[in-house]
Structure formats: C-alpha cells, structure tokens
C-alpha cells in the first residue's frame, strides 16, 4: 500500500459504472474516503448482506467500520437531501455522525438553485441537457461567480448571507416567469436541514487530508459522475458542472498533484448513458433492451432508464489518458452472459475518415467500427475466482487489456460485495 498518497477512483464512461460498490470493496485498505466533486445528482448503489443502499452525497466508505468519510470542498451539498440520506441510513442501523465530516468550503445548494435548474432546463426546449434537476449547475454557477454560500457560512451570520443570495435568485426567477408557489415549503425544509447539519463536524478539509497523508494514512478519493461528463473534456454541452477526471481531485480536496498514487478507472463491459447527448454505440434493438433489462439500467437517483450500447474503446482510451489510470475495474460483466457475439467499438468513421482518437465533437454522424468476439454464454454470477471464468470471457478481458494498455485488476460479476474477483490486487491490498 502506498504511503502518503491519495488513490483516486473514478468512472470512465458516462457515469453509473458502479463506483459505489467498488469504493465499498476497497475501503478496508484505507483509513479515509473522500468525495471530491459533484452533488446529489450522483447515485452510488451498494448491495451487501441482502440490503440495498443508494448514496447521493455521503462517501461510499461509510459502511466499512471505523473509517473517516469526508465530503470535500469540491462537492456541492443539498442539506435537505443529505439529511434524508443520513436518516434513512440511521433507520438501517448506521449512525454516521461520528464517521462523516464536511468541508467548510463545500458549497450549499439552496432551494432557489433547484427552481433555477428547472426553469433553465424548461427554457431550452428541445435542446435541454437532461439535468437531474437537483440544482447542481446553478450552484456551481454561483461558486464560479463568487456569489455562493458555503458550509462555513453556517458558522457566521448565515441568515443575512442566505437572504442576500435568495433575494437575488427570486428576482431572476420572477423575470423568467417561474412558479414560486412551493418556495416557502422548500425553505422551511432547508432551514430545518441546516439546523440538522450543525450536528456534524465542519472541517478545513485541505488541512485535514494533508495532515492525514503526513501521518502515513491511506486515503481513497471517490469521484461522482463519469469522465465523459467532465465539464472540459466530456461531450459538451451534455456534461456535468465539475471536473470528473483525476485532476479534479486536486482541486476538490486541496492536494498536490504529486500526492496522487493509484488511479482506479471503472467501466462497464458495455456502455450506458442517462439523459441527452451523443452516444455513438447506442443500441435501440433487442440487444440494447436485453442490456437494460439484465443490467437493471435505471438511474439510482432519477429512476430514468439508461440508454445502452456496446463498449466504446475510443472513448475509454481517451478517459484513461486524461486521468493517468493505473488500474482498470470492469463492472457488470455478467449482463452479457447470454449473447453469442460481443462487439467492441475500436474506431469511429466520420465521412471518409477513420478516427482512433476522440474527435472534437461526437455530435457528427459517427459510424462505429466494431471488432466482434465470441460470447461466453455461461453465467458468471457464481464465479469467485479467475480460474472459474470461462475461456471466451478471459479472451474478452485479454482483448480489452491489449486495446487499453492498462491491466484489468478487478472484475465484478454481480451487484453484491462478494461477487468481486480480485485479479491483480491480491498482493497490494
């Protein structure tokens, strides 16, 4: 185990790769788990001991005993949703107040941010982005505009500061013709949640995490949305409002680039996307429907059905490059169990040109160039070691490693914590 390093775990596709499960699996090797970006638009699903949990803002290491979980400064936090999430966990016997700390520099999502999100999305008509409506974008907009509220403001004249931001938002919403009838009810819940938040420890997280590294503690940084949703490098404008690649960890936690150790990149054995935006390998046939059905492809937060398609190696090579991925983790391999043939996109054709690297935009008329591989047509969900995996599946793994030039260290063959095969980390964790 590396000392004085932050290992980073992030998704390499359009999100929903299974980050929550893997953080939970890896957490025993770490003393601290930290979220570094995103907000309650994330939905990290964990399944173990017959229980099913969905985490929106709380780091996925919260279930692993005496570990410190940190909501970093790069996160935007909705107090109402955090309270709901924490109280649901408490009902399941998980009291998190002693295991969770919150950065003073994390920005607060206000009720008016949610109203602005809905109003802005409505105004776009057919060009809507497919936002989750959680107020994420407007909150990050206020952050960049230097007009936002932060967790630390709860400790200093909060009501005055809140009213100034709220009044500015209301003026804008009125000009947009937005419905404000639910605002009083939303504000009542918000202020109760702010009082609830005061029961948690607020920390100067950049100091906390760097002192932890100096003490030789192992820290795992957890990303939220996938790399192809990065505000700079994703399929803009159909992206989230933060940097989801590994460099975002430095800003979202206040650590130096030299403090980054391993970078775990998670991907599905196929590909999915929620909401609008280009998707070159999308399938709208019976294979796509099979992936959605077998993979239970519905958003953990929104409930929206996910679009499904073959794995896209052009996009994967791109996101691996951006984050300097050192270890790959393949999820939902079992979803493809019944297919006689597996396809992988190895290049794009746009017009008369072939692209093996990511083009500026995916909104062009792209023809995926596929390589076909034999399916394994054998259930994987009962496999617990690499030796039990069928030969055709091992061939698929070897093909992916050759294409991506990074080892696949972990293979998931089902949703449960136990359905995880450690291939190349047994001697490291």
What residues are annotated to the active site?
A: 16, 44
DSSP symbol at 65: S
C-alpha distances (whole Å) from 36 to each of 105, 205, 216 are 12, 11, 20
Give the H or E element holding residue 400.
helix 391-404
Q: How many whole angstroms separate alpha carbon 89 and alpha carbon 74?
A: 24
Q: How many whole angstroms separate alpha carbon 209 and alpha carbon 252?
A: 11
CB atoms within 10 A of CB 57: 26
Q: How many whole angstroms separate alpha carbon 13 and alpha carbon 272?
A: 8
At 242, phi and psi to the nearest 5?
Answer: -140, 170
DSSP assignment of 15-57 equals: S-S-HHHHHHHHGGG-SEEEE-SB-TT--EEEEETTEEEEESS
C-alpha distances (whole Å) from 87 to each of 98, 252, 310 are 14, 26, 38
């Amino acid at each position: 185990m590396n000392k004085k390093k932050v290992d980073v775990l992030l998704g390499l596709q359009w999100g929903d790769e299974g980050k929550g499960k893997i953080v939970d699996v890896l957490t025993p090797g770490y003393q601290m788990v930290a979220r570094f970006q995103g907000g309650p638009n994330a939905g990290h699903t964990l399944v173990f001991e017959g229980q099913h949990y969905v985490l929106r803002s709380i780091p996925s290491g919260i279930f692993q005993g005496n570990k410190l979980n940190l909501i970093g400064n790069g996160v935007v936090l909705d107090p109402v949703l955090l309270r709901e999430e924490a109280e649901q966990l408490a009902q399941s016997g998980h009291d998190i107040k002693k295991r969770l700390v919150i950065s003073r520099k994390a920005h607060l999502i206000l009720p008016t941010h949610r109203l602005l999100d809905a109003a802005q999305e409505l105004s776009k008509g057919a060009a809507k982005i497919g936002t989750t409506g959680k107020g994420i974008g407007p909150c990050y907009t206020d952050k960049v505009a230097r007009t936002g509220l932060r967790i630390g403001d709860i400790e200093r004249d909060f009501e005055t500061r809140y009213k100034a931001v709220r009044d500015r938002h209301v003026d804008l919403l009125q000009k947009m013709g937005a419905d404000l009838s639910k605002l009083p009810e939303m504000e009542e819940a918000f202020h109760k949640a702010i009082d609830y938040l005061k029961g948690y420890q607020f920390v100067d997280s950049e100091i906390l995490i760097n002192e932890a590294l100096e003490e030789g503690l192992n820290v795992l940084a957890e990303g939220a949305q996938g790399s192809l949703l990065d505000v700079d490098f994703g399929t803009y404008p159909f992206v989230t409002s933060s940097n989801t690649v590994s460099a975002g960890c430095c800003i979202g936690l206040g650590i130096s680039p030299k403090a980054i150790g391993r970078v775990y990149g998670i991907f599905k054995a196929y590909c999915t996307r929620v909401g609008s935006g280009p998707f070159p390998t999308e399938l709208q046939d019976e294979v796509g429907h099979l992936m959605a059905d077998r993979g239970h492809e519905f958003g953990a937060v929104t409930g929206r059905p996910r679009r499904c398609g073959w794995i896209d190696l052009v996009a994967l090579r791109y996101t691996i490059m951006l984050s300097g991925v050192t270890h790959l983790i393949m999820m939902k391999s079992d979803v493809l169990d019944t297919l006689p043939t597996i396809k992988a996109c190895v290049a794009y054709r746009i017009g008369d040109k072939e692209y093996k690297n990511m083009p500026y935009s995916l909104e062009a008329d792209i023809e995926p160039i596929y390589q076909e591989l034999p399916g394994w047509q054998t259930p994987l969900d009962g496999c617990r070691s690499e030796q039990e995996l069928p030969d055709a599946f091992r061939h698929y793994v070897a093909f992916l490693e050759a294409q991506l030039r990074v080892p696949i260290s972990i293979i998931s063959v089902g949703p449960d914590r136990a359905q995880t095969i450690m291939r190349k980390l047994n001697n490291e964790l």
